[in-house]
Structure 1
Amino acid sequence: MEKGKVVSIEDRIPKLKQIRKRKANRRLIALLSIFFVLIASVMYFLSPLSHIRSITVVGNRYISQEEVVRLSRLTNDTSIWKINKKQSIENIKSNPEIKTAEIRAKIPNSVVIKINERNRIAYMAKEGRFLPILENGEILGPIKKGDIPVYAPVLVGFGEGNKLNQLLGELEQLPQEILNSISEIHEASTKTDIYHITMYMNDGFEVSATSRTLSEKLVHYPSIISQLDPDIKGVIDLEVGSYFKAFDKPAPNNQKEGQTRAGDS
């Protein structure tokens, strides 16, 4: 039987000491790292480094970023760790145009506010000012002087009441691309139709219609104008069927443009 190699205890002690020393060093490094991370974290929390440096607003069309930030009441003196999201969201939603709001804090010191606005389906022209009308029918105060109504038509000659409510109900059902194509809608009631309106389109055409069937008829507008000469502007009558009549122009032999069928809706 072969005898095993015998290692004296004196030879093993230095190796054991080295192993224990390496383990102790690793523990010390780990403890020091945790200590410095904790110190750095405390300094970050307590110092201006944790204060908000930038606020980004996304999802806004009508309301300026500055206004949303003002409503949130978040400032450069607010610590990113002390944001009261619930209260800030309530503050933002105090504006009737804002349907929903969301706040996300991003380390080290930035904030993103995402909002969802209620659509403006029209603007009411009143005493030289423009009052936005929201999708829920609420009429807001006038926009700032010099601001231009966007994304919705201007209503001229309307007051609060059945005519306005009827028209708003129809506009709300229109696709956004159709709504964007309308520049102005004028109240033009007649003895036979108190809901008669005249619309001026952004492409230069004029539309005669009744608000009682507006959403049903106007949805065919792109198809109707695709059949017309874009260089010859005129009135598209959508009250009964769909007819087109060019604007009167001086013509040879005192002739005028006649009435032509534009297509049924």
Structure 2
Amino acid sequence: MYSEQSFPIYQKRRVKRKRNKRLVGLIILFFLFIAIIIYLKSPISRIAEIEISGIDLLSENDIYKTADLRIGMYYLPIRTNSIKRKLLELEEVKEVNVTKQFPSKLVIQVIEEQPIAYLLNEDGVWLPILENGYIFNGNSEKNFLDRPLVTKWDDVNKIPKLVEELGKIKPSILVEISEIWQSRDLNATFDSSRLIIFTREGYRVHVLLEELGDKMNLYPAIINNLKTKTTKLGDIYLLESMRFEEFDDDNN
């Protein structure tokens, strides 16, 4: 049997162990604090590189300014979701992915809204009309030569509807459109709902704006049928009824 005198010795050992654990904990906290101070004062605690990809319409400066980014800012406080939310507010941005790469790099991958056509403004400058209907008033580093050119367009409020209809056209047919005009009716008065479509083959297609997508998807079949009857170019009317009129000598 254990004597009663052994219990005080056991209790002293247990108290000593608790004190040792507290001391070890304090030492760990002290060195952790020192490590944090050293890290915050070292260059690796700050952003040294910001890698941005996928931008043609926007510039890197646009990204920096919108997301409030700069080289040298602290790495740890950066919130990628906050950067993403700010960039998605830009009309030119469709999707964005932001990641942090330890110790000091930030990677931003952007997917922009793509131009679906180009609008000629009053100053003679071609402005990209993006897939979401936004008219980009800036310089693009990339040329989209296979997009329709929108000229003689007086009603800018009809641009969103034009974008909607162009989005319905099959890509293989869309590239066949070289130019788009707003037209005039038979009395030579302006009618913003009527369009003249110039094709790369040389035809002119007359169509209503609200029917542009559906009617232009019929274009290949119409052309194939016409070529069995004539080799001449002309006006294709896809209005209340369909008809074809050959160009006169002045249009050749």
User: Same fold by TM (over 0.5)?
Assistant: yes
Q: Distance in 2 between matches of 1:72 and 1:161?
A: 30
Q: Structure 2 unaligned segments of length 5 or more: list them.
A: 1-29
Other-structure match for 2:77: 82
Q: Is the 1:198–1:206 Cα contact (8 Å) retained in structure 2?
A: no
Pair 1:169 & 2:169 matched:
no
Q: Is the 2:182–2:196 Cα contact (8 Å) retained in structure 1?
A: yes
Q: Distance in 2 between matches of 1:164 and 1:191?
A: 23
How far residue 101 of structure 1 moved from its aligned partner, in angstroms, is 2.9
* Residue number among 206, 209, 213 corresponding to 2:206 in the alignment: 209
Other-structure match for 1:107: 102
Q: Is the 1:104–1:113 Cα contact (8 Å) retained in structure 2?
A: yes
Q: Write the mapping of 1:2-151 to structure 2, written as runs, cut at 5 A.
A: 43-127=38-122, 128-140=124-136, 142-144=137-139
Residue type at the aligned position of 1:237: I
- C-alpha change, 1:223 and 1:36, in structure 2 (3 Å) is farther
How far residue 191 of structure 1 moved from its aligned partner, in angstroms, is 2.0
Identify the structure with bigger relative contact order (alpha carbons < 8 Å, sequence gap 6+).
2
- C-alpha change, 1:41 and 1:196, in structure 2 (3 Å) is same
Q: Is the 2:184–2:194 Cα contact (8 Å) retained in structure 1?
A: yes
Other-structure match for 1:196: 194
- Report the count of equivalent residues: 215
TM-score by length of 1: 0.60
Q: Distance in 2 between matches of 1:151 and 1:83?
A: 40
User: What fraction of aligned residue pairs are identical, expressed as a percent?
Assistant: 25
Q: Distance in 2 between matches of 1:161 and 1:81?
A: 46
- C-alpha change, 1:122 and 1:48, in structure 2 (3 Å) is same
Residue type at the aligned position of 2:236: D
How far residue 38 of structure 1 moved from its aligned partner, in angstroms, is 9.2
Q: Which secondary structure state, in structure 2, belongs to the residue aligned with residue 81 of structure 1?
A: coil
Residue type at the aligned position of 1:209: H
Other-structure match for 2:155: 160
Q: Distance in 2 between matches of 1:62 and 1:150?
A: 15
TM-score by length of 2: 0.63
How far residue 215 of structure 1 moved from its aligned partner, in angstroms, is 0.8
Q: Is the 1:234–1:247 Cα contact (8 Å) retained in structure 2?
A: no
Q: Distance in 2 between matches of 1:67 and 1:233?
A: 50
Q: Structure 1 unaligned segments of length 5 or more: list them.
A: 1-34, 250-255, 257-265
* Residue number among 210, 216, 219 corresponding to 1:218 in the alignment: 216
Q: Is the 2:115–2:144 Cα contact (8 Å) retained in structure 1?
A: no
Residue type at the aligned position of 1:117: E
How far residue 112 of structure 1 moved from its aligned partner, in angstroms, is 1.5
